[in-house]
Each structure stands twice: as structure tokens, then as C-alpha cells.
């Protein structure tokens, strides 16, 4: 079925001429709001292992991780021969540029690698790091994935994000000026404590109107074991979204995102053994199909309500 939004799969097929894997890697970086650089404890939704809970062999050397991941993926898609190395876990520019370069180069020179995706934060991109990314972008496709999560300062403080939306906007401008070929993807989380349906729409409005970005990731908040957010849930400050509410939010968000922006994600994955809720999120394809059906029922598509919401 033809999607009513600009999917990442279609974007990569057009860009690289065929299906392309994102290969997640844990490069051993930490996070500035875990190690005391800006804060302690990390974001309240984050587990002790960060966003890399599904990485096949996170403790293996980087090059070994790369091959273990593609071997695993080839069980389902044996024909794929092009790869994007995805430095996913924690903050992958949180070190000296010499360290960053040494770790990246262990994977990006492997056969079939056509690009690199870098998960990071807006407070961890000094000029020397941007200069290296600008250099990399002359060699391959480079994407910086910035974890914004929310544009509201009160929510950011509540989840211990430890950087402002203003800094995020400034960082996007710096990337665009100093590394113009680098693509920028914004991450937002739906369902954070205290945020209403309208606030979640406003997060998207601000993201796509304030910033020169090329992609967006829309995540469902997963409440995980061994996270500080469990306290919010048990003390009644967090209400988990129903599937019906989530589908409605996503469809409303898609309708106000410009059609040229690539939708990198509209739901997410969480390990079953670590997930407190929402449990319906484990049925990923059911959620994706429900979004497709709702967009079809509405007769809507990505960007169809953009003008009325600017």
C-alpha cells in the first residue's frame, strides 16, 4: 500500500537506488547529563543502557558489532548490500574530536557503507566536531539525529533533559552554516508527563517552522523498568497513552509536517522484558496499520493541513 507520508524506506531507496540498512552501533560514548558534565542521572525515561537496548552485541568491538548486526539483518533481507552506520546509543559526539574520529572510522570504511547516522544532543557539537562532520559529508551521506524530545522548558526540566529549546534552535543553525551538506533529524516523544494533545502538536509545529531540518522521528513514550520516570507513573504524574489516542496524535502531526520532510519513525520498539507500558506498543505492525487506516479514513496525507497551522 502506498503510504500517505514520506517514509524513510522510500527516501533511502530513491537516494541509494535500493533498500539500505541502518546498522546500530554502541561506540562506548556516555551522555553529558549522566556523567555530570551538565547534570546527573540522565533523562528520566532513559534506561541504564540508553537507547541501545536492542543492539545485538553492544560490548563487542565496533567493527565486530557492525558485522554481527548485518549478519542478523541478512536473515530477513539477504539481498541488501548497502549500509548506514548508526551510532545510536547515548551521545555520540560527547568526546574530543580525535576520539570521535577514531571510533567512527572503525566502521564507516567497511564495504557497502554509504553513510553515517549520528545520535547526539545540541550541547555536544562544538566547532571542531562540526568541522569533522563537514569533512565526512564530502565522503558519504551524513545525518545528525538530535534528541529534542520536547519544545517545552517545563517538560524538559521535569524529564532532566538539561538543555533548552533555544539551544536546540541555535545548534541547528550552526550545523546548517558549518556543515551544510549534513542532514538533520529531530526526535520528539509523544506522551511525556503533563503534555496534552495540543502541546504535542505544538512540538511538531515549532520543530518544522523554527528549524531547517530534513527529517523527524516521532516516538511513543515507553515506560521502562529501572528508570526515574517510574516514580512519575506511580505517583500519578504520568498517564500512558492509549493506542487510539496515539494514532490520533500521529495523524494530526503528520498533517502539519511539510511533505518534503522524511518521516524516520512514527512509533518505536522496546524490549518486552523491560516494558511497563503501554503494552499495546509491542504490536508494532498493528499500530502502523492503524495509522495508515486512519489517514485513509480521513482522506488526509502529510502536510495537508500545513498552511492552516503555520
**How many C-beta atoms lie closer than 10 Å to residue 36's C-beta?**
10
Sorted by sequence, the CB contacts under 8 Å of residue 276 that are 6+ apart come out as: 223, 224, 225, 230, 233
Is cis: bond before 244, omega within 30 of 0? Answer: no
Q: What is the pLDDT of residue 108?
A: 95
List, for residues 239-274, the tens digit of each pLDDT value: 999 999 999 999 999 999 999 999 999 998 888 988
- Give me the mean pLDDT over the 9-19 stretch: 95
- Give me the mean pLDDT over the 157-184 stretch: 95
pTM across the whole model: 0.94
Asked if 200 and 253 touch (Cβ cutoff 8 Å), the reply is yes
Asked if 115 and 141 touch (Cβ cutoff 8 Å), the reply is yes
Sorted by sequence, the CB contacts under 8 Å of residue 144 that are 6+ apart come out as: 118, 120, 125, 133, 175, 182, 183, 184, 185
Residue 50 has pLDDT above 60, yes or no: no
Q: What is the pLDDT of residue 231?
A: 85
Residue 310 has pLDDT above 60, yes or no: no
- Give me the mean pLDDT over the 5-9 stretch: 96
CA 218 to each of CA 3, 111, 156, 245: distance values in angstroms, whole numbers, following the listed order = 16, 31, 17, 14
Q: Report the distance separating Cα 133 and Cα 83, nearest Å.
A: 18
Q: What is the pLDDT of residue 177?
A: 97
Q: What is the pLDDT of residue 53?
A: 54
Q: What is the pLDDT of residue 150?
A: 97
- Which class is 8-298 in CATH? alpha beta
- CA of residue 241 relative to chain centroid, distance: 19
Q: What is the pLDDT of residue 156?
A: 93
The domain limits of the chain are 8-298
The DSSP bridge partners found for residue 187 are 147, 217
Helices (H), 75-112: 97-108
Sign of the alpha-carbon dihedral angle for 56, 57, 62, 66: negative
| Coil, helix or strand at residue 140 | coil
Q: What is the pLDDT of residue 89?
A: 87
- pLDDT band at residue 184 under the 50/70/90 scheme: very high
| Coil, helix or strand at residue 249 | helix
Please, is 120 exposed, middle or buried when counting C-beta atoms within 10 Å of its C-beta (0-12, 13-18, 19+)? buried
- Give me the mean pLDDT over the 223-238 stretch: 88
Residue 52 has pLDDT above 60, yes or no: no
- The cell for 60 is 563487542
Q: What is the pLDDT of residue 49?
A: 58
Amino acid at each position: 500500500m502506498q503510504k500517505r507520508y514520506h517514509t524513510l524506506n522510500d527516501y533511502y531507496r530513491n537516494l541509494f537506488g535500493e533498500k539500505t540498512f541502518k546498522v546500530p552501533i554502541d561506540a562506548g560514548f556516555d551522555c553529558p547529563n549522566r556523567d555530570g558534565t551538565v547534570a546527573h542521572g540522565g533523562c528520566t525515561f532513559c534506561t541504564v543502557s540508553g537507547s541501545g537496548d536492542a543492539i545485538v552485541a553492544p560490548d563487542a568491538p565496533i567493527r565486530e558489532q557492525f558485522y554481527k548486526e548485518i549478519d542478523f539483518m541478512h536473515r530477513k533481507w539477504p539481498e541488501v548490500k548497502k549500509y548506514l552506520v548508526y551510532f545510536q546509543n547515548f551521545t555520540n559526539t560527547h568526546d574530543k574530536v580525535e576520539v570521535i574520529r577514531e571510533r567512527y572510522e572503525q566502521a564507516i570504511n567497511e564495504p557497502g557503507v554509504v553513510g553515517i547516522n549520528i545520535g547526539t544532543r545540541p550541547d555536544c557539537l562544538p566547532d571542531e566536531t562540526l568541522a569533522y562532520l563537514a569533512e565526512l559529508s564530502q565522503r558519504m551521506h551524513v545525518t545528525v539525529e538530535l534528541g529534542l524530545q520536547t519544545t517545552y522548558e517545563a517538560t524538559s526540566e521535569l524529564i532532566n533533559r538539561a538543555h533548552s529549546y533555544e539551544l536546540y534552535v541555535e545548534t541547528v543553525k550552526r550545523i546548517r552554516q558549518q556543515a551544510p551538506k549534513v542532514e538533520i533529524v529531530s526526535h520528539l516523544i509523544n506522551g511525556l508527563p503533563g503534555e496534552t494533545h495540543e502541546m504535542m502538536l505544538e512540538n511538531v509545529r515549532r520543530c518544522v517552522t523554527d528549524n531547517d531540518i530534513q527529517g523527524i522521528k516521532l516516538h511513543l513514550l515507553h515506560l521502562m523498568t529501572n528508570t526515574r520516570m517510574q516514580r512519575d507513573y506511580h505517583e500519578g504524574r504520568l498517564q500512558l497513552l492509549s493506542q487510539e489516542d496515539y494514532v490520533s496524535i500521529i495523524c494530526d502531526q503528520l498533517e502539519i509536517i511539510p511533505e518534503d520532510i522524511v518521516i524516520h519513525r512514527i512509533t518505536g520498539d522496546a524490549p518486552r522484558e523491560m516494558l511497563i507500558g503501554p503494552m499495546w506498543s509491542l504490536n508494532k505492525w498493528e499500530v502502523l496499520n492503524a495509522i495508515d487506516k486512519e489517514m485513509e479514513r480521513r482522506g488526509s496525507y502529510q502536510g495537508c493541513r500545513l498552511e492552516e497551522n503555520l
